[in-house]
Structures are given as C-alpha cells and as structure tokens.
Amino acid sequence: MSRTTQSSSDFAFYVPGKYKPEQSLGYLMKKVLSSILQEADRRLSSFDLTYVQWLPLYKLAQNEDITLASLSRDLQIDPAAISRSLDRIESKGLIHRRRSLSDRRVVHLELSIEGREVAEDVKGVLADVLNDHLKGFSFEEWTTMLELLRRMLINGNALKDQLLDADQSA
C-alpha cells in the first residue's frame, strides 16, 4: 500500500510537496516550544536563571540521587553542554557536585539550601508560563492534547526500536 493511500489504520496526513510549514506538526511544535522557552527565560531572569539552568534544578528537586550522566540522558542534553550549565548554576551557589567514592568518574549532584528555595519559587513561574500558553483550552482539550502527544512519542519510540532491531540483525 502506498503511503499516500488512505486506510483506517495507516493514513498519510502529509504528501511530499503538498503541505505548508503551518500545517506541519514538527514546525508548529517547535514554534510552540520556542515561545514557551522564550517566555520562561523572560520570567526566570528575575531569578537570574535561564530555562536551561532551571531544568537541572527542577530535576534535582524531584529526585535527590542524580548524577551528571543521568541528568544529561534524561534531559537529552550533551554532557559537555549540561556540564557548562551546571558550572553556572554552581557558581550561583544553587547546587553542589560530589564525586562518587566508589567510582571517581561518577559525579553526584545535589541542591544547596538556596537551590531548594529557588527551585520551589520557580515552580510557579513555569506553571504560569504553561497555563498562559493554554488560555482558551478546556480541560478536555488539554487532556486530549497530552494523550495525542504521548501517542506520537510511542510511535517515535517504535521507529527507534525498529532501527535498533534492524541494526542488530544486520
């Protein structure tokens, strides 16, 4: 069956050369994310933070036992880039790094007392940014959007799994 042929289980929403960027989910998701990040950066400036600096603080506030490597994987940020961001956060006195006693390559991260306070204060700022981007949406629309995005992630993960399976069988 051709990718452009409609079926109940596999409908081609996009036909090469027949859609505009404003019809592209990827384009629109990137624009929405960019808007959220810009507004978050604007509002976080009063805390002397950027969104990229806030992400590690948020993760550390959620889970006490985080390593630099696990944070990099979880946030999908290059280890060198996350390390530079952590340097800035550490210079502000918001986190501490601690080398593992059993494996010197492992760096554990923890919030300082001031880091905990800032993390708590900033949670409301980020909730406000997201809520402002969702103005006019009903609760049902919000939950539907979340479910649809989760389904897209499941489809994307299935594609990654297919590639891994193909690589392993080659």
Q: Is residue 131 part of a domain?
A: no
Same domain (yes/no): 115, 61: yes
Burial of 158 (0-12, 13-18, 19+ CB in 10 A): exposed
Same domain (yes/no): 144, 86: no
Q: Is residue 44 part of a domain?
A: yes
Name the residue range of residue 166's domain.
Answer: 138-170
Q: What is the pLDDT of residue 9?
A: 58
pLDDT of 8 > 70? The answer is: no
C-alpha span between 27 and 149 (Å, rounded): 14
Q: What is the pLDDT of residue 142?
A: 97
Instruction: Name the residue with higher pLDDT: 99 or 142.
Output: 142
Same domain (yes/no): 147, 116: no
Q: Locate 62 and state its tokens.
A: 């959620």
- Going by DSSP bridges, is the β-strand pair 95-99/66-67 parallel, antiparallel, or unpaired? unpaired
Same domain (yes/no): 114, 142: no
Instruction: Tell me the angle at which helices 113-133 and 25-44 cross, rounded to the nearest 10 degrees.
Output: 130
